[in-house]
Amino acid sequence: MKKLIVANWKLNPLTESEAVSLARKIDHKNVVVCPPFPFLPAVRKVLKRAALGAQDVFWEPHGAYTGEVSGLMLKSVGARYVIIGHSERRAYFGESDDAINEKIHAALASGLKVIVCVGEPRAVRRWGFMAARRFVARQLKRDLRGVKEKVIVAYEPIWAIGSGTSDKPEETVRMAMFIKKFCAKRFALRSVSVLYGGSVKPGNARGFLIRKEINGALVGGASLKASEFKKIVQAAGK
């Protein structure tokens, strides 16, 4: 199965022209480019091979919700994927599992493919792998309540995001196997794809991407540097 590499640009770059130029350079098959909302239409225009994704979505389709963006709006500008429940949204914007659950339902109803992010903080991981597993299970149980369509799960241990220290591929494999089994048993969601995210770089990408249990990567920092991102995409193709 082909690996999916997702570029999460977060609050970058600063201008539309930089966004377009970066998108042109990372336009490969099996890639999803997730720019900030204002750049979605311009980036869509230049992507020939990669798919377009958004970094968040609101749960209502329209109405009096100042500042929000709905799934139908994202669809109408060509987005096919949406990242939901990134740890930065949980931490800085107080997103709860209930809110994430509503967003997932709304996004699926709009016809978007959902990439839901889960992962434990360092304090939990210090207690060991089983503690991390329990934390992730609790997130999945709440985030996926009532979900019947397939979603993509991105396992992103919070301590690995932007820190330069990634998880160990063999631990990620264990977590990916657990997530797949949990989704199948609890939600009857078969063959859920699991991506790894957290300091994925050209030097460590292959270690994750050669494992059959890991279906791709969610890349933050390295997706802003075309040369680094290309190497990660190449590692996925090998």
Residues that bind ligand PGA in the complex, under the rule CB under 6 A: 8, 156, 161-162, 197-200, 218-222
Q: What is the rounded CA–CA span in Å between residue 24 and residue 131?
A: 42
Q: How far is the CB of 232 from ligand PGA (least distance, A)?
A: 10
Residue nearest to ligand PGA (CB): 220
Concerning whether 105 is annotated as a catalytic residue, the answer is no
The active-site residue, picked from 86, 95, 120, 228, is: 86
Min separation Cβ 90 and ligand PGA, Å:
12
86 is catalytic: yes
Q: Which of 169, 220 has the CB closer to ligand PGA?
A: 220
- As measured in angstroms, the least distance from the Cβ of 118 to ligand PGA is 12
Which one, 120 or 156, has the nearer CB to ligand PGA? 156
Distance CA(52)–CA(217), nearest Å, equals 16
Q: In whole angstroms, how close is the CB of 226 to ligand PGA at the nearest point?
A: 15
The residue (of 71 and 198) whose beta carbon lies closer to ligand PGA is 198
Pick between residue 187 and residue 218 the one whose CB is nearest to ligand PGA: 218
Q: Which of 95, 120, 156, 228 does the annotation list as catalytic?
A: 156
Tokens 């089983």 belong to which residue? Answer: 130
Widest distance between CA atoms in the chain: 48
In the chain, which residue ranges form alpha helices assigned H by DSSP?
A: 16-25, 40-46, 71-76, 87-92, 97-109, 122-125, 129-143, 169-187, 202-209, 226-237
Contact 84, 117 (CB under 8 A): yes
Residue written as token pair 């075309």: 226
> Which residue carries 């977060």 as its tokens?
10
Could you tell me which of 4, 124, 102, 120 has the C-alpha nearest to residue 56? 102
DSSP structural state of residue 7: E
Catalytic residues: 86, 156
